[in-house]
Structure 1
């Protein structure tokens, strides 16, 4: 049988070692950790926090792993699944264009739990994070847009990313890492049907499942249980099962620059498929607020994928509103930006926005569909009663690697994300914790993060 297509990636994951002297990678790790940790804290107090707590944890069960916002400790699997889900509640976590995935939420919770249990040093943690990001991004990009049409890549490729991160954190060799990827592929699942059935609250469960899959896969390989080495390309592998064609095998071979550098840090707390359109609408509003409010028609042109994922027309909840391009564009043009501070129940219930939505048409652009997922193109057209048209267009989003946040902007963004939380946290302390990881400080620890996060009122220690 031919050499496994994942072999080169498995070797890379097993050997990657982050160099603290790499200033660019150090800055990216800082941004990555700040993005994820603020998303985690923001999820505390979200309406889904309590339901997910009851679903993913077991009362009275005691472990050694911390859960954000709770004064209890649980076994590793429950803790990392819970933390992963919580960090996805507000849709403020990172994203990657070509793989159409959220890498951080499927990688970092696994590493943080293992770091706490195994007392891992910062260098091992940083290396495991880089390994996990490389894997979810490369596998997700390999599976392609056809896979994303039906499957939630964050859940499917995310199982691979979590497995790779766990494998590197646990010190697995290349053969064991390849087996772990095979075990991850056997478990990988996650379908978009929840959007069609208006079950958007289930989305974070995909992330919880991915991290559970990843740890289980690595543990299986660690004890010597072989996994399917040809899990992607085999006659009964994933591509055959999902009827995928045209998957570019070149994506599976790591290059000189880690893929973590290609991740987007989001500028809006909504589905990333509409961010370019929101950037357009924001520019139009800032240029002429009166024109935006009085416009007769609004035409939003997006790739087909955006309509499929972010095409909810009549959102009935905040969760659904995050996947409604028409609603979010209307809010922006009405002067009520759906940003970290403004996305609220009051926004959802604003009758002015609901009336404005009747003027908004969201359509596919064949040209933009052809450029997806390499780009996130969008065009917003405003048409007045007199027939005058104003157009704004974007190819990429604010926060994409081509348009990164500055350090000052990252810290300001962090404050905005943290404002979504039900608990207060020392922002400066959180920033320092992220910097300590990036700098591979001997004083860094995973426990320090959970010690900073206040507990939700009413919880009792087990």
Structure 2
């Protein structure tokens, strides 16, 4: 009789998860208890800051035109068009609010990934939370999730992505908006991976506006990302499949959108490093590349008690992208053009001693004295600073005075970076300064209190109602 040999159960080794599935699995399983309070607090700050950016843009022609289009399109009135009295569909609201949030160039920035992240992620999260009746904490969680998805992908492809001419708020922002929406829909890991795949198929955003004549096109990037992210998640919820290895596959996102990339950065330190806490705020209403130079010049002017008229010339040494990826016009065509120019931004800051949104007005464009000042500013690339970018966004400012004296400042981290943060009081002051364009002071104070208490709120409806009821017209 043959002896029976006991069988041993065997399992086929499973291949390791790709970056897309690993990220989706982590985000799909994220619960509030796994997120540090600092990340939730940072999400509140980003929400308040972006609401201010939206409200501060209410008098701009870009917002008027975009709102006119969305109101005419109509749609199921599920969500608030922030700053207006009409409601529209979830996708349209996210699109409009995304456009509005980026118009005045004051929205948040993530240094390593060269990304305006709040403008695509928060409008999508707000619209989906309002539509679905999510709690305030769930909304904040979706913001954290969206920042993680957007910024980790952007970390992997930058700075090559930028050098190829893409704006990551439009491309990677689509992933962030999709992930935030998927969180509020409570999609599982597979469906979230589908949503990311669908978002990647639709990702887009060129940086061409910066090199043109100051056109308005750049403002559409976060709106498109916010709306597309929502649709991607809603399709995935119904079973519409997307590429579940969109980041790492051949002809996938990373290979198609960057010459050099590091896919490992998408999943590095998951659950240990929270990208929302590494995101900076902008105190000045202009391109973030200009901020370190402005900090340095204003510090010199204040410390030495000098005026714009005392200055004979300024040399700014900074990283090469800030130098070569801008026309830096001394005679800008539009306010957008002016805000992209280091020389002209320095001229306005030197005259006004600050650079808030109300300091940038149309009449300044034709001001020959500002043009003359800007003409005395030289912007040069520094090899060491270029090598440190995007880990650092520094600038050295050298100011030569008419009396022969000279002063210099090296600014390694401009105001608003995690290493040089704005205080809560400064954040709230910025919000009030911007919000007064659209809402009353009492409404602004109410919005601040509601945002600060979002983690204990039953939803975002009260926040949206406070903004709408507080509108000046």
Q: Please classify the TM superposition score into its range, dividing by the shorter chain length.
A: over 0.9
User: Matches of 1:450 and 1:45 in 2, distance apart?
Assistant: 21
Q: In structure 1, what is the equivalent of residue 124 of structure 2?
A: 110
Q: Alignment partner for residue 45 of structure 1, among 49, 56, 59?
A: 59
Q: Deviations over 1:371-401 (max 9, x none)?
A: 1111111011112457543111111111111
Distance 1:291 1:65, change over 3 A: closer
Q: In structure 1, what is the equivalent of residue 336 of structure 2?
A: 319
User: Cα offset for 1:19?
Assistant: 4.0
User: Cα offset for 1:167?
Assistant: 0.6
User: Matches of 2:236 and 2:440 in 1, distance apart?
Assistant: 40
User: Matches of 1:229 and 1:60 in 2, distance apart?
Assistant: 34
Q: In structure 2, what is the equivalent of residue 449 of structure 1?
A: 464
Q: In structure 1, what is the equivalent of residue 435 of structure 2?
A: 418
Distance 1:391 1:231, change over 3 A: same
Contact persistence 1:289–1:333 (CA under 8 A): no
Q: Does 1:74 align with 2:88?
A: yes
**Under a length normalisation based on structure 2, what TM-score does the superposition of the two structures give?**
0.90
Q: Report the 3-state secondary structure (helix = DSSP H, G, I; strand = E; otherwise coil) of the residue aligned with 2:380.
A: strand
Q: Alignment partner for residue 79 of structure 2, among 65, 70, 73?
A: 65
Q: Does 1:378 align with 2:383?
A: no
Q: Does 1:351 align with 2:351?
A: no
**Under a length normalisation based on structure 1, what TM-score does the superposition of the two structures give?**
0.92
Q: Deviations over 1:236-277 (max 9, x none)?
A: 212332352242523334231321110101111111111111
Q: In structure 2, what is the equivalent of residue 337 of structure 1?
A: 354
Q: In structure 1, what is the equivalent of residue 206 of structure 2?
A: 191
User: Matches of 2:35 and 2:254 in 1, distance apart?
Assistant: 39
Distance 1:145 1:217, change over 3 A: same
User: Matches of 1:451 and 1:335 in 2, distance apart?
Assistant: 33
Q: Report the 3-state secondary structure (helix = DSSP H, G, I; strand = E; otherwise coil) of the residue aligned with 1:257.
A: coil
Q: In structure 2, what is the equivalent of residue 255 of structure 1?
A: 271
Aligned-CA RMSD value: 2.2
Contact persistence 2:79–2:127 (CA under 8 A): yes
Q: In structure 2, what is the equivalent of residue 302 of structure 1?
A: 318
Distance 1:18 1:310, change over 3 A: farther
Aligned pairs (5 A) from 1:361-440? 361-384=378-401, 388-419=405-436, 421-425=437-441, 426-437=443-454, 439-440=455-456
Q: Report the 3-state secondary structure (helix = DSSP H, G, I; strand = E; otherwise coil) of the residue aligned with 2:110.
A: coil
User: Cα offset for 1:203?
Assistant: 1.3
Aligned pairs (5 A) from 1:94-109? 94-109=108-123
Q: Does 1:217 align with 2:242?
A: no
Q: Does 1:153 align with 2:196?
A: no
User: Matches of 1:429 and 1:230 in 2, distance apart?
Assistant: 44
Q: Does 1:31 align with 2:38?
A: no
User: Matches of 2:161 and 2:37 in 1, distance apart?
Assistant: 35
Structure 1, gaps ≥5 residues long = 458-462
Distance 1:262 1:448, change over 3 A: same
Q: In structure 1, what is the equivalent of residue 294 of structure 2?
A: 278
User: Matches of 2:148 and 2:26 in 1, distance apart?
Assistant: 9
Q: Alignment partner for residue 281 of structure 2, among 248, 254, 265?
A: 265
Q: In structure 2, what is the equivalent of residue 13 of structure 1?
A: 27
Distance 1:373 1:27, change over 3 A: same
Contact persistence 2:83–2:467 (CA under 8 A): no
Q: Deviations over 1:194-228 (max 9, x none)?
A: 22222441111011110121111111211112211
Structure 2, gaps ≥5 residues long = 1-14
Q: Report the 3-state secondary structure (helix = DSSP H, G, I; strand = E; otherwise coil) of the residue aligned with 2:280.
A: coil
Comparing 393-402 with 239-248, greater Cα deviation is found at 239-248
User: Cα offset for 1:337?
Assistant: 2.7
Distance 1:334 1:45, change over 3 A: closer
Contact persistence 2:316–2:377 (CA under 8 A): yes
User: Matches of 1:116 and 1:95 in 2, distance apart?
Assistant: 25
User: Cα offset for 1:131?
Assistant: 0.2
Q: Larger radius of gyration, structure 1 or 2?
A: 2
Distance 1:26 1:162, change over 3 A: closer
Q: Deviations over 1:97-120 (max 9, x none)?
A: 011111111111111111111111
Q: Does 1:164 align with 2:174?
A: no
Q: Deviations over 1:63-107 (max 9, x none)?
A: 221101222221111111001111111111111001111111111
User: Cα offset for 1:446?
Assistant: 3.4
Contact persistence 1:368–1:377 (CA under 8 A): yes
User: Matches of 2:114 and 2:465 in 1, distance apart?
Assistant: 29
User: Cα offset for 1:153?
Assistant: 0.7
Distance 1:404 1:336, change over 3 A: closer
Q: Report the 3-state secondary structure (helix = DSSP H, G, I; strand = E; otherwise coil) of the residue aligned with 2:77.
A: coil
User: Matches of 2:34 and 2:196 in 1, distance apart?
Assistant: 27
Q: Report the 3-state secondary structure (helix = DSSP H, G, I; strand = E; otherwise coil) of the residue aligned with 1:267.
A: coil
Contact persistence 2:438–2:471 (CA under 8 A): no
